[in-house]
Amino acid sequence: MNLDIGKVLDVSARVSFAVCFACMFLLFFPAILLPFDITVFREKYGIWIFIVFAVSASLLISHIVKHIAGLAKRKLDQISTWRTYKYILKNLSDEEKVYLKRFFDKGQTAIVFSMVDPVAQKLKTFRVISQPSGTSMAPRGMSLGFIQPWVFEVLRKHPEYLEVSELKTQEVQENA
């Protein structure tokens, strides 16, 4: 008889729970409350029932631990992603802040930007601005794009990330 351990470990959590519950019932339910005599059955097969109970309980516990670890990993990934978003927006140059502030103040997410503008290209590199796939109806040298939704979410909570002195704002606009 060839027993594949991998197949045993692939048992679902529902099956593990059902087998574990059935074994607990057979092993630990008081014999007085049952309408039939279970003591002979327990004496004859008790050790095997206990082994099945132990294996199914350990599989059930492993499923629970795996589920909890998965939840924790997803939560940590989400926290890490939002920290990265905040880091990107917090460390923008003054030119990038002024460029982004124009759209944020208007609440404008769909934009047309120049393909040769270095500020727009840097924001595109950081995935603050994205280009849609497909054909573009923008004028020559320009491109349709949109500002990612996470940018507006973070900036609504932290508008100070776009703060630039008025002098610097005027200087950037004159150079544009």
The CA-to-CA distance between both ends of the chain, in Å, stands at: 79
**What is the reported pLDDT for 40?**
82
The reported pLDDT for the residue numbered 132 is 81
Does the structural domain 92-175 have CATH classification 1.10.287? no
3 state SS for the chain: CCCCHHHHHCCCHHHHHHHHHHHHHHHHCCHHHCCCCCHHHHHHHHHHHHHHHHHHHHHHHHHHHHHHHHHHHHHHHHHHHHHHHHHHHHCCCHHHHHHHHHHHHHCCCEEEEECCCHHHHHHHHCCCEECCCCCCCCCCCEEEEEECHHHHHHHHHCHHHHCCCHHHHHHHHHHC
d(CA 132, CA 157): 26
The pTM is what? Answer: 0.65
Which residue type sits at 51? I
pLDDT at 26: 84
Cβ contacts of residue 8 below 8 Å, gap of 6+?
55, 59
Residue 111, beta-bridge partner list: 145
Residue tagged 């208007």 (tokens): 106
Residue 129: closest CA among 86, 82, 96: 96
Q: Taking a C-beta distance cutoff of 8 angstroms, is the pair 133, 167 a contact? A: no
In this prediction, residue 75 carries a pLDDT of 97
Per-residue pLDDT tens, the chain, 176 aa: give them: 566 665 656 667 788 888 888 888 888 888 787 777 788 888 888 899 899 899 888 888 988 888 899 999 999 999 999 999 999 999 998 889 989 998 998 988 888 888 888 998 999 999 999 988 767 676 777 888 899 999 999 999 999 998 887 766 666 666 65
Predicted confidence at residue 9, as pLDDT, reads 62
